[in-house]
Structure 1
């Protein structure tokens, strides 16, 4: 039988994360003496020293660092178990937070939201629109229960949901279309490219071909399309977002020898299926079905 308690490990984690007993006490709303007692009791039970004081700094020992890596996982799992219990007790969650990349087909997303709202009319849905790594970052921060992203999760399983085609386009009046021939890389490099900014703060990267010296970076697919329609640059954008403008002739696909079209896989990501309530599960089911039958 374990001689240590989860509460003792939580106090140990708090001291390690906040850099001292006083800081930990303020963060977890406990008295400093109670945190001291919990950590010292843990050290007595384990027979190891977890912290060492150097000047005014409280630092982990080598043993403390090794145990912290393991206990972070244990405490995270305990939190997930508590969430499962809450879901079982309450039955249906009152709110669902979803992070969705802007390049994901809107028609599939909106049909999914409509189906979920029809099934659970009182549910409050928070839709967070993101670019590139932003959806997974919101999931990692606990701000979203589900993420629809063009990236897999680094430490969990990801599910392929659909392929999205991106096409290189420019407005009908753009100088690239006035050349009236197959374009070269040099032609592109001489013109302005419109690219999307990664909404994830941890990565902050742009994506795709970035060979043009002139580059405007924007935060939304809609802004990119507006600039294209004004003949202010060229870009690769989702075909589903450009389709009506392609059909009307306002946007024209770049006549490249290769690479004018490319596909990107989108993934359905969530941390732990057992922590998802019935509304979240309904969202997953509808999204899977609609993506497969689009």
Structure 2
């Protein structure tokens, strides 16, 4: 009798996936370039070694049994892990990461980010890039939870995270703005908390999976919560509420008269933003991460990431 080691090879796991996807032994045999009897024989070998039935043969289609479905699930995971090992080995050989994930906060200029992406691809690196949206503590959490390799626009301290490294991106002024037809546009300044409390605020949901933070909200205030900074700008342009927004992001709307800035009694919000990398288990930056960190050394690039919001 065969040992599971002999039959649970990447090749046979991939074969089982094909049978499940095509729904029949005949179709799977065609796709794999095997004669149906050879395919059936290989499946029976696996079933004998594990002492289970993997496919229900009474139906016209090859439907996985519960045991078969479990093997397919675990098999898919094993195949992914084999891919990951191969990627890691290739990365070690070339110094390039197979994938680099960057968490980008909603206050960061998407135009400048895409210009950097363009420059990155111009080197024809073997690295797949993945950009993730982040808001407030979620931008840092993507990094510390292992879902990102670099976080740009971190507004919270991550100094308590082992191995985390960060650099200063710059300071960003948040100003309170409303649409010209909003009631708060014509109230005498400075606007007190008591006045603001009577009107709806527009807030961006923190993208952190747990906990999360809010900015500039008052207890008991009606709040419209949206998912992105762009949606917050649009909601405030429509007069659906008021709120703090980064000055570079709203500058064109202020100049065109589509939004008005109001002075509030609470102090102006100047936010220090960082970029961060590393964290638990981090050893050394691969060539892709190193390239991005080199770009972030440039004061002009850092400034553009915070200010270049309307480059068409």
TM-score range, shorter chain: 0.5 to 0.7
Q: 2:146 maps to what in 1? A: 142
| RMSD across aligned positions (CA) | 2.6
Gaps of 5+ in 1: 1-82
Give, in whole Å, the separation in 2 of the partners of 1:118 and 1:109: 14
* Paired position in structure 2 for 1:285: 294
Partner of 1:268: 275
- Structure 2's unaligned 5+ residue stretches are 1-86, 305-312
Structure label with greater radius of gyration:
2
Corresponding residue number in structure 2 for 1:38: none
List per-residue Cα deviations over 1:205-246 (Å, max 9, x = no partner): 312342562112222111111111111110111122212211
Q: Return the alpha-carbon distance in structure 2 between the equivalents of residues 228 and 267 of structure 1.
A: 27
Structure 2: how far apart are the matches of 1:291 and 1:110?
Answer: 12
CA drift of 1:133 comes to 1.2
Alignment of 1:40-79 (within 5 A): none
Counterpart Cα distance in 2 of 1:152 and 1:258: 23
SS at match of 1:217: strand
8 Å CA contact 2:155–2:273 kept in 1: the answer is yes
Shift of 1:189: 1.1
- The range that moved more, 225-234 or 174-183, is 174-183
User: How many residues matched?
Assistant: 212
Specify which of 93, 100, 118 is matched with residue 97 of structure 2.
93
Alignment TM-score, normalising by the size of structure 1 = 0.64
Say if 1:152 and 1:184 are closer, same or farther in 2 by CA, change over 3 A. closer
Task: Tell me, in whole angstroms, the C-alpha distance in 1 between the residues paired with 2:188 and 2:121.
Answer: 49
Select which of 183, 193, 196 maps to 1:185. Answer: 193
CA distance in 2, matches of 1:293, 1:265: 13
Q: Which residue of 2 is the match for residue 152 of structure 1?
A: 157
The two structures have a TM-score, normalised by structure 2, of 0.61
Show the 5 A alignment for 1:1-294. Answer: 87-120=91-124, 123-148=127-152, 149-153=154-158, 154-155=160-161, 156-211=164-219, 213-259=221-267, 261-271=268-278, 274-289=283-298, 290-292=300-302, 294=304
Question: Contact between 2:236 and 2:243, CA under 8 Å: does it hold in 1?
Answer: yes
Q: 1:195 to 1:160 in 2, by over 3 A?
A: same
Give the Cα–Cα distance (whole angstroms) in 1 for the partners of residues 122 and 218 of structure 2: 43
Distance 1:286 1:223 in 2: 29
Assess, with a 3 A threshold, how the Cα gap between structure 1 residues 282 and 157 changes in structure 2: closer, same or farther: closer
Deviation for aligned residue 1:109: 2.4
